[in-house]
Amino acid sequence: MKKFLKILVVTLIALILVILVGLHIAYHSFSPDDKGLQVNESNLAYFQESYEECRKAFLEQARAATEMYDLSKMFSIKVPSKVDTALYIDILYLPPKHDSSRLLVLSSGIHGVEAFMGSAFQQFFLEVLLTEEVLADMGVLMIHGINPYGFKYLRRLTENNVDLNRGSETDPALFNIKNEGYGMVNEFLNPKGKVSKNSVRNQFFHWASIMNIMKYSKGVLQQAIGQGQYDYPEGIMFGGNDFEPQIDSLRIRLPVFLSPYETILAIDLHTGHGERGGLYPLSNPLDNPQNLQKTESVFKDHHIVWGDTDETYTTTGGFSDPFLQKLCPSATYLHLTVEWGTSDVHKIIGSMHLLQNHVMENQGYNHGYKNSKQEERIKQGYKEFFYPSSDSWRSGAIESGREMFSTVLENYSVI
């Protein structure tokens, strides 16, 4: 009997060790692929590797559009910085050819490091999707690179550590919102000291994540982390204590373009959510039944991910909701975030990698990197997470965007 118990205990320990080692290997070898997707070479022309190159390519396309269509406008807003004198948001406005009450707003780069894809799609939109027929039914307003500092220096956040998609509002009461759940995990999310990917903490980040999931549940954690917070200025998802300068500028400059329209569809371009290769329309839940019905009919060919479901979370201080909405109070205002999936974050391992990338990048920015090699490794890993270098992924992202926006433009023109 004693011998049997001994064998049982040893077998159990061995089994647990195998599971632990297996999970450890699975976490560190996690690498979503593109499943042999065909590359359409012409799609790759819209992708560049730096803020300057993306901006130049967008401005060339925008200039060509202003030469083609009457009464168009193009201008840049300089974003002040302590370290860089060449950071701009670029804006292109194309009015409809005939009287139309509809406007489409297409914005990129509120999360700086996600702007590469947003910029690529805006360039593609201008060259391929924008036609006389489209402009017969609607005006188009393009906003390129809302967070140029993050775009250039590979951050999701701004130079002041603000997540602009949590810090956009017209009412400063935003900054009084308390995210009670965030405090529970603040120390886990925002470690101090110089960061290294080789540290014990980072080698076993997934175990700390699993412990937190077991303690608080995945849904509670997801909401607490993703919602936005206004109490920890060096923390991830910090929405600020005041408005960032570009939000002040856009609040003044945009209403003149929005106010002539009765119906506005605002689509903010992002990367990161969901399965690699997927394209997802996301939104906070809508209270207004008429707007809900119109939004669903514009995106009727696609599954909309609502923020109050298991798949994602609700946010405060978003750019398209509530900020842009408040700039056009009398319009029927429809809005969605569109996300290209890059890293399989719908899987638990992918979501832990997403969080670890945010934590390491933010720790490096606020507390420094162990050495220059670590800085390069963490920053490039962060860029790759939100802007895959794979030609298959990039080509597929243009194709999925082409397919989604072709139907969205058609559906929007008839609502």
Which residues are near Zn ion by CB under 5 A? 111, 114, 270
Q: Which residue has the tokens 């205990």?
A: 9
* Least distance between Zn ion and beta carbon 67 (Å): 32
* Least distance between Zn ion and beta carbon 56 (Å): 23
Q: How far apart are CA 349 and CA 210, in angstroms?
A: 10
Q: Are 239 and 228 in contact (CB under 8 A)?
A: yes
Residue 382: closest CA among 159, 112, 119, 167:
112
Residue closer to Zn ion (CB basis): 196 or 362: 362
For the stretch 381-408, what's the b/e string if a residue is b when 16 or more beta carbons lie within 10 angstroms of its beta carbon?
bbbebbbbebbbbbbbbbbbbbebbeeb
* Least distance between Zn ion and beta carbon 268 (Å): 8
Residue closer to Zn ion (CB basis): 55 or 111: 111
Residue closer to Zn ion (CB basis): 201 or 394: 394
Residue closer to Zn ion (CB basis): 157 or 254: 157
* Least distance between Zn ion and beta carbon 339 (Å): 7
* Least distance between Zn ion and beta carbon 341 (Å): 12
* Least distance between Zn ion and beta carbon 31 (Å): 22
Residue closer to Zn ion (CB basis): 152 or 270: 270
Q: How far apart are CA 253 and CA 79, in angstroms?
A: 13
Q: How far apart are CA 341 and CA 374, in angstroms?
A: 26
Q: How far apart are CA 378 and CA 376, in angstroms?
A: 6
Q: How far apart are CA 229 and CA 389, in angstroms?
A: 31
Q: How far apart are CA 111 and CA 117, in angstroms?
A: 11
* Least distance between Zn ion and beta carbon 30 (Å): 21
Cα torsion for 244, 140, 283, 218, to the nearest 10°? -60
Residue closer to Zn ion (CB basis): 137 or 268: 268
Q: How far apart are CA 338 and CA 315, in angstroms?
A: 15
* Least distance between Zn ion and beta carbon 186 (Å): 21
Residue closer to Zn ion (CB basis): 227 or 374: 227
Count of beta carbons in the 10 Å neighbourhood of residue 309: 12
Q: Are 344 and 353 in contact (CB under 8 A)?
A: no
Residue closer to Zn ion (CB basis): 114 or 244: 114
